[in-house]
Amino acid sequence: MKDKEKYNSIEESRFDYFETVKPHPRLGQTEEESKGKEKFNQIGAYTPRVDGDKIVTGQAPYTHDIKLRGMLTCKILRSPHAAAEIVSIDTSKAENLPGVKAVLKLNEKKVQYAGQQVAAVAAVDEYTAEKALSLIEVQYKTLPHSVTEEKSRETDAPQVHSSSNVQRFNQYDRGDIEAGFKQADVIREFTYRTPNEIHHPTETHSSIAKWDGDRLTIWDSTQAIHNVRDGLARALKIPAARIKVIKHYMGGGFGSKLSLNEYTVVAAQLAKISGCPVKIVLTREENALCVGNRPSSHQTYKGGIKKDGTLAALSLVNYTNGGINRGDRCSEPMIDLYKCPNVKDEQYTVFTNLGPSRATRAPGHVQGTFGFEGFLDELAAAINIDPLELRIKNYSAKNQGDTGIPYSSKHLEECYRIGAKEIGWERRNKVPGEGTGRYRQGLGMASQIWWGAGVPGTLADIKIHPDGGVEIICGTQDIGCGTRTYMATIVAETLGLKPEDIIVKIGNSDYPWAPLSGGSLTTPSVAPATRDAALKAAEQLKQMAAEKLETKPEDIELKDGKLVSQANPDKSVTLRELARSLGRETVFHGSRSGMPPEYAYNSFGAHFAEVEVDTLLGKIKVLKIVAVHDIGRVINRQTAESQVVGGITQGLSTALFEQRIVDQNTGRLVNPNLRDYKIATAMDMPEIIPLFIDKPDPYINNLGTKGLGEPPRIPSSAVIANAVYNAIGVHLREIPMTPDKVLNALKNKEAADEKL
């Protein structure tokens, strides 16, 4: 991969910038590590999940699986109306139903969306709970509602909140936008749209609440055990120290499980009233209605470009519908990805009577990348330049379009080179849509930027027992990415053991603090803290071994469960012997240190797609995706590749299939299930080639690693739209790219071509 000659289908000299980035030892990295030359055996290798067998054989406990003695089932009554005043709630019949242990009114004023909670019951089983819900009598006085961006923007639209439906929530300016447009040879303006997308994690949301006196234990399917604990403390007005949140395994979250949920508070309240543990498992329908969605976008870009491909001016106005919550800002790709001196951005959120939006895997960036990277391809076509060349021409070494501070590391140009070579970029249509016949092939690409530097202050402890057992303990949570595996690998690598020798303890809010698992920050927070703890343990063990073997600590190597003198390999002591001589369990505290402020910390990547469009049926078939990511050091190649495959699957799914459909008259979701809300399946998936630059970042942390949770999702819808454009010569500016849209676009293009 590092062989420049292999990937020089694009003019070589353009990549010289890359050679000027020099690594420096910082933040506890050794000189060797910072150069990425340290010989790691386990870190960076393909390591199967330490708990993979447990997961695939159904032994790994999910919140759904947990059963406690005397546990009740909670069900929540939800409003069928998009907007209504609640006149009265009568729960007496439900309370009198045998088997019902507690009933709670949750809302006696007003509902703002269909699916909003109104009342809850706890009963001995699911059937009794459902029966009880049907006995609760609620009198609603329905109010006018608005469930579309268009309607909410009308002057006489029903008002969702007490303030105006349309709120400007972000504005950004640099340079002089009007002067920029004057310098441009070509100006284009196009609008791109993305729909609301539902997270639909495999495991629906669930919580169990159990009180022991004034102590509360919560089992929760969550991305954030500490946030759930602290949120509950505020909601219930009890000290956080009296709450413990546990999460062993979960079937995905994608942002919909990032914070405390209303139903978790309800379960805790019902458990208190009934004196029994209470479990709530949301249905698939509830998942679609009330625990989040990706806000829509309606992005209008105007861009000015010079004939040589230099970007002169870029502007964006976006309207986003996040239901009763604020939507997403989606201008980051336009602001940061390329060199452009004159940029203007305005973001407006539009409130509607729909369930609250939530962060969804790479919030804003997914929408913005679909819009902006699509727009760039249309600008490239307008001046007849290769879309990849356009991106390289405007490459920026600093953030804010080259007007800000330098990146700690950025190898996007290498991603371009490798990806272009791998997909065979020279095969693309030189003019979009120049092919003929029923089936038309096309190639497209799209770039990605994200944060994902991790959180300083993340803690992890290593405990060594006198019997030689080694534990790594951290209050993080594995949301499905393989956290336990890389933690075990890092400790094993540092202490000369094997991953299966290490006991990993995570998923409990009593453990040392770690941040929520979102924003691609788990690995770059937890891995460095783990490494720090392991290095501290190794240091003490080396000192003890050196004394025992009458040599210097620098002479000691940790290998195969032993501490060996490198000068005299016959002299060694086992880790177990040293542990025994410690006499009691010994804890080593690790933490994730800070980052020098003079750099911008971002991850980068580029995807390349090959598609085939059936112009008779309007069907798009994705044939191949090459994904090249620059995330600093790769900690576990196997789980990193899975992460990329997952991101591409979701991106393909939204590009071609996913859309939340709402009946405007009733304000209700038409497709709150996985039969009518289409997602991609194995049959839809192309060949995927995940590749990594794998160069440690010199400043970011002691392992030089960045997050990968969101990056592969970011360009994965845009790249398909761009490949379709290359295939048929018309850019589909709205996803999902369903056959009706493809056929309409082809028809309109034909009509336009005839006019010429």
Measure the CA–CA gap between 698 and 570, rounded to whole angstroms.
Answer: 37
Measure the CA–CA gap between 200 and 254, rounded to whole angstroms.
Answer: 8
Measure the CA–CA gap between 634 and 641, rounded to whole angstroms.
Answer: 10
At its nearest, how many Å lie between ligand MOS and the CB of residue 105?
Answer: 32
User: Among the candidate windows 134-142, 308-316, 357-365, 547-555, which touches ligand MOS by CB under 6 A?
Assistant: 357-365
What three-state secondary structure class fits 540?
helix
Q: Which is nearer to ligand MOS, 180 or 518 (CB)?
A: 518
Q: Length of the chain in residues, anyone? A: 756
User: Among the candidate windows 157-165, 329-337, 354-362, 364-372, which touches ligand MOS by CB under 6 A?
Assistant: 354-362
The reply to whether 254 sits near ligand MOS by the rule CB under 6 A is: yes
At its nearest, how many Å lie between ligand MOS and the CB of residue 363?
Answer: 5
Q: Which is nearer to ligand MOS, 299 or 522 (CB)?
A: 522
Measure the CA–CA gap between 576 and 162, rounded to whole angstroms.
Answer: 66
| Closest-CA residue to 639 (of 409, 460, 478, 514) | 478
Measure the CA–CA gap between 666 and 670, rounded to whole angstroms.
Answer: 10
| Closest-CA residue to 615 (of 427, 447, 745) | 745
**Candidate list 10, 359, 459, 648; residue touching ligand MOS; CB under 6 A:** 359
Measure the CA–CA gap between 325 and 351, rounded to whole angstroms.
Answer: 7
Q: Which is nearer to ligand MOS, 419 or 647 (CB)?
A: 647
The reply to whether 258 sits near ligand MOS by the rule CB under 6 A is: yes
User: Among the candidate windows 253-261, 383-391, 417-425, 598-606, which touches ligand MOS by CB under 6 A?
Assistant: 253-261
Q: Which is nearer to ligand MOS, 357 or 591 (CB)?
A: 357
Q: Which residues pair with 689 in a beta bridge?
A: 626
At its nearest, how many Å lie between ligand MOS and the CB of residue 15?
Answer: 32
The reply to whether 255 sits near ligand MOS by the rule CB under 6 A is: yes
**Neighbouring residues of 533: CB distance < 8 A, sequence distance ≥ 6:** 460, 461, 462, 472, 491, 588, 589, 590
Q: Which is nearer to ligand MOS, 572 or 716 (CB)?
A: 716
Q: Which is nearer to ligand MOS, 73 or 448 (CB)?
A: 448
Query: Do 691 and 645 contact (CB within 8 A), yes or no?
Result: no
φ, ψ of residue 466 to 5 degrees: the values are -60, -20
**Candidate list 63, 360, 458, 701; residue touching ligand MOS; CB under 6 A:** 360
Query: Do 297 and 365 contact (CB within 8 A), yes or no?
Result: no
Q: Which is nearer to ligand MOS, 518 or 736 (CB)?
A: 518
At its nearest, how many Å lie between ligand MOS and the CB of residue 629?
Answer: 17
At its nearest, how many Å lie between ligand MOS and the CB of residue 525?
Answer: 13
Instruction: Determine the distance from the C-alpha atom of residue 711 to the mean position of all C-alpha atoms in its chain, rounded to a whole number.
Output: 8
**Candidate list 226, 361, 668, 731; residue touching ligand MOS; CB under 6 A:** 361
Q: Which is nearer to ligand MOS, 115 or 519 (CB)?
A: 519
Q: Which is nearer to ligand MOS, 36 or 292 (CB)?
A: 292
**Neighbouring residues of 751: CB distance < 8 A, sequence distance ≥ 6:** none
Q: Which is nearer to ligand MOS, 363 or 590 (CB)?
A: 363
**Candidate list 374, 442, 519, 647; residue touching ligand MOS; CB under 6 A:** 519
**Neighbouring residues of 208: CB distance < 8 A, sequence distance ≥ 6:** 63, 66, 68, 71, 218, 219, 220, 267, 277, 278, 279, 280
How close are the terminal C-alpha atoms of the chain, in Å? 46
Q: Could you say which residues in the range 54-113 bind ligand MOS, by CB under 6 A?
A: none
One-letter amino acid of 296: S
Q: Which is nearer to ligand MOS, 79 or 517 (CB)?
A: 517
At its nearest, how many Å lie between ligand MOS and the CB of residue 207?
Answer: 18
Query: Do 478 and 523 contact (CB within 8 A), yes or no?
Result: no
Beta strands at 603-614 and 619-630: parallel, antiparallel or unpaired: antiparallel
The reply to whether 223 sits near ligand MOS by the rule CB under 6 A is: yes
Measure the CA–CA gap between 281 and 267, rounded to whole angstroms.
Answer: 10
At its nearest, how many Å lie between ligand MOS and the CB of residue 520?
Answer: 7
Q: Could you say which residues in the range 672-711 bind ligand MOS, by CB under 6 A?
A: none
At its nearest, how many Å lie between ligand MOS and the CB of residue 605?
Answer: 17
At its nearest, how many Å lie between ligand MOS and the CB of residue 254?
Answer: 6
At its nearest, how many Å lie between ligand MOS and the CB of residue 197?
Answer: 12
At its nearest, how many Å lie between ligand MOS and the CB of residue 684?
Answer: 23
Query: Do 290 and 298 contact (CB within 8 A), yes or no?
Result: no
User: Among the candidate windows 20-28, 149-157, 265-273, 358-366, which touches ligand MOS by CB under 6 A?
Assistant: 358-366
Helices (H), 345-454: 365-382, 387-393, 399-402, 412-423
Measure the CA–CA gap between 582 and 362, rounded to whole angstroms.
Answer: 46
User: Among the candidate windows 264-272, 325-333, 356-364, 642-650, which touches ligand MOS by CB under 6 A?
Assistant: 356-364
Instruction: Label residues 10-48 b or e (16+ Cβ within 10 Å = b).
Output: beeebbeebeeeebeebbebeeebbbbebebebbbeebe
Q: Which is nearer to ligand MOS, 249 or 725 (CB)?
A: 249
Report how many residues bind ligand MOS under the rule CB under 6 A: 11
User: Among the candidate windows 157-165, 360-368, 441-449, 630-638, which touches ligand MOS by CB under 6 A?
Assistant: 360-368
Q: Which is nearer to ligand MOS, 373 or 710 (CB)?
A: 710
Q: Residues 479, 480, 482, 483: what is their CA dihedral angle, to the nearest 10 degrees?
A: 10
Q: Which is nearer to ligand MOS, 345 or 710 (CB)?
A: 710
| Closest-CA residue to 579 (of 539, 522, 541) | 541
Q: Which is nearer to ligand MOS, 355 or 519 (CB)?
A: 519
User: Among the candidate windows 251-259, 539-547, 581-589, 691-699, which touches ligand MOS by CB under 6 A?
Assistant: 251-259
At its nearest, how many Å lie between ligand MOS and the CB of residue 111?
Answer: 26
**Neighbouring residues of 404: CB distance < 8 A, sequence distance ≥ 6:** 398, 600
What three-state secondary structure class fits 469?
coil
In order of 323, 367, 430, 721, 736, the CA distances from 718 in angstroms are 24, 9, 19, 5, 11
**Neighbouring residues of 445: CB distance < 8 A, sequence distance ≥ 6:** 387, 388, 391, 416, 419, 420, 423, 425, 606, 607, 608, 609, 719, 722
What three-state secondary structure class fits 696?
coil
At its nearest, how many Å lie between ligand MOS and the CB of residue 267?
Answer: 22
At its nearest, how many Å lie between ligand MOS and the CB of residue 292?
Answer: 9
Q: How many CB atoms lie within 10 A of CB 563?
A: 26
At its nearest, how many Å lie between ligand MOS and the CB of residue 631?
Answer: 15
Q: Which is nearer to ligand MOS, 232 or 258 (CB)?
A: 258
Site string for ligand MOS, 130-169 (x = CB under 6 A): ----------------------------------------
User: Among the candidate windows 120-128, 175-183, 248-256, 675-683, which touches ligand MOS by CB under 6 A?
Assistant: 248-256
Q: Which is nearer to ligand MOS, 63 or 360 (CB)?
A: 360
At its nearest, how many Å lie between ligand MOS and the CB of residue 647?
Answer: 12
At its nearest, how many Å lie between ligand MOS and the CB of residue 710?
Answer: 6
Q: Which is nearer to ligand MOS, 456 or 739 (CB)?
A: 456
The reply to whether 518 sits near ligand MOS by the rule CB under 6 A is: yes
Question: ω into residue 736 within 30 of 0, thus cis?
Answer: yes
Which chain residues interact with ligand MOS by CB under 6 A? 223, 253-255, 258, 359-361, 363, 518-519
